[in-house]
Chains A and B, each alone.
Chain A
């Protein structure tokens, strides 16, 4: 089944403790992206990747890192999480070009 898989689904952590949210897709998509969703603000793009080793900032990249060493994986790294990064995070992928995004089921992160 074609899918984007995020892990974990829920994560509670403390300020400053490094964490990684994994994202993997099995559709051989070149393009992958991370979004965060907050009430009243919709989805905002954090980082995106056009292909392996090619990443770029979205609208809200501060406090986040990404890497794209393999085509299928696009982890989101929070080196020193802060409470304002408490949010619902989504990973998405698509074929290079004009095709729609396929989303993962989300990771709900709470930073205390």
Chain B
């Protein structure tokens, strides 16, 4: 069952602009994670936010979590061409735990120089 759904499916911006991606999910969660994937390669973990947290920062990344709306957003500030990748949210549901981390379908980000 698909838990997370990202929006938009694709996003095209210029270097220096901010990129915002959204993720919606369906059930109560333990935590929500964001991953990045470069063109067919393995996913790389970016940031984890727990259900009792509302916002988290890591470098140019800012993640928010709204458990009442079952949604999260990933903001990448001052984007660079190297940020071009697909971004996935993944949720660990309360009833299944971390062992069944469920991924969304991803947002493809293209950052043009």
Contact = CB atoms under 8 A, between A and B. Distances in A.
Given A59-B1, A108-B40, A43 B103 contact: yes
Contact of A48 (B1, B42, B100): B100
Q: Is the interface of A mostly helix, strand, loop or mixed?
A: strand
Interface string A57-92: 011000000000000000000000000000010101
Interface hub of B31, B33, B100 (most chain A Cβ within 10 A): B100
A44 B100 CA distance: 10
B43 A90 contact: yes
A34 interface: no
A103 B43 contact: yes
B42 A42 contact: no
Nearest to A90: B42
B77 interface: no
Interface residues of A, number: 29
Contact of B45 (A31, A42, A56, A101): A101
Contacts of A42: 2, 4, 88, 103-106
Nearest to A38: B105
Contact-size category for B: 20 to 34
A57 to B, nearest CB: 10
Interface of A: 4, 31, 33, 35, 40-45, 48, 50, 56, 58-59, 88, 90, 92, 94, 97-98, 100-106, 108
19 contacts: A4-B42, A31-B98, A31-B99, A33-B101, A41-B2, A41-B105, A42-B2, A45-B100, A45-B102, A48-B100, A59-B100, A59-B102, A88-B40, A94-B98, A103-B43, A105-B42, A106-B40, A106-B42, A108-B40
Given A31-B99, A58-B100, A98-B31, 14 more contacts: A33-B101, A41-B2, A41-B105, A42-B88, A42-B103, A42-B104, A44-B103, A48-B99, A59-B1, A88-B40, A98-B48, A101-B45, A104-B42, A106-B42
